[in-house]
């Protein structure tokens, strides 16, 4: 009992000592104003260079597909919007289409896939509304729609970019990172691949 009482007394003296803000000459910080710094969306590189910079992180399959198809120039062309499949989306596509890997795809199939995700013109989320807008990809056989969907009040971005949110358009996909701005257009990153109905 004496041992427990002694520990309690020592504890009562130690708590104020270690909770003191003047311990070791440190002063209590009275206030801190958070300086908001938004994510830098503009970049000093084109879309191809950005994808290349992410090849060891989350865009290795897209980077390899671009190079297998000889499409570097397509991702350096001005005035385009790129729907960027990250590795999760690309892996899902390969699995769903029963490819054992990227190397199992024919070059023409890779080109068709990439063409379906390159849009003529620049489409920033500020250019979109909740009404889907039909956009033209460089694949003449597919149709794509871009729109916005309102987010809940707690979301940092009040609107989410959506792909193909119209009846009978194919699989609807939400953009996970929108409005990246390389020097030659706009990029929207997805972690699920949009599917398209043929025209």
47-190 falls under which CATH superfamily?
Answer: FAS1 domain (2.30.180.10)
Interatomic CA distance for residues 175 and 132, integer angstroms: 14
Complete DSSP assignment for 159-178: EEEEES-STTSS--EE-SEE
Residue 96 falls in which region: left (phi positive, over 0), alpha (psi -120 to 50) or beta? alpha
* Exposed / middle / buried, residue 76 (Cβ in 10 Å: 0-12, 13-18, 19+): middle
Phi, psi angle pair for 148, to nearest 5° = -115, 150
Show pLDDT as tens, one digit a residue, over the chain (199 residues).
Answer: 666 666 666 666 666 555 555 555 555 555 555 444 444 588 999 999 999 999 999 999 999 999 999 999 999 999 999 999 999 999 999 999 999 999 999 999 999 999 999 999 999 999 999 999 999 999 998 889 999 988 765 555 578 999 998 887 778 899 999 999 999 999 999 999 988 655 5
């Amino acid at each position: 009992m004496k041992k427990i009482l002694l520990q309690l007394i020592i504890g009562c003296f130690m708590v104020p000592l270690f909770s003191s803000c003047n311990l070791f000459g440190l002063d209590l910080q009275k206030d801190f104003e958070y300086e908001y710094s938004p994510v830098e969306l503009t970049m000093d590189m084109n879309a191809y260079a950005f994808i290349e910079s992410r090849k060891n992180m989350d865009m290795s399959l897209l980077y390899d597909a671009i190079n297998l198809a000889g499409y570097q120039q397509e991702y350096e062309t001005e005035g385009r919007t790129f729907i960027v499949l990250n590795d999760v989306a690309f892996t899902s596509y390969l699995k769903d289409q029963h490819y054992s890997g990227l190397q199992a795809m024919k070059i023409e199939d890779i080109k068709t896939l990439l063409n379906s995700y390159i849009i003529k013109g620049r489409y920033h989320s500020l250019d979109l509304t909740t009404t889907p807008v039909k956009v033209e990809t460089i694949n003449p056989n597919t149709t794509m729609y871009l729109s916005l969907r309102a987010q809940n009040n707690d979301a940092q971005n009040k609107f989410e970019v959506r792909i193909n949110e119209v009846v009978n358009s194919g699989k609807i996909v939400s953009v996970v990172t929108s409005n990246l701005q390389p020097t030659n257009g706009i990029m929207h990153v997805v972690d699920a691949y949009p599917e398209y109905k043929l025209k």
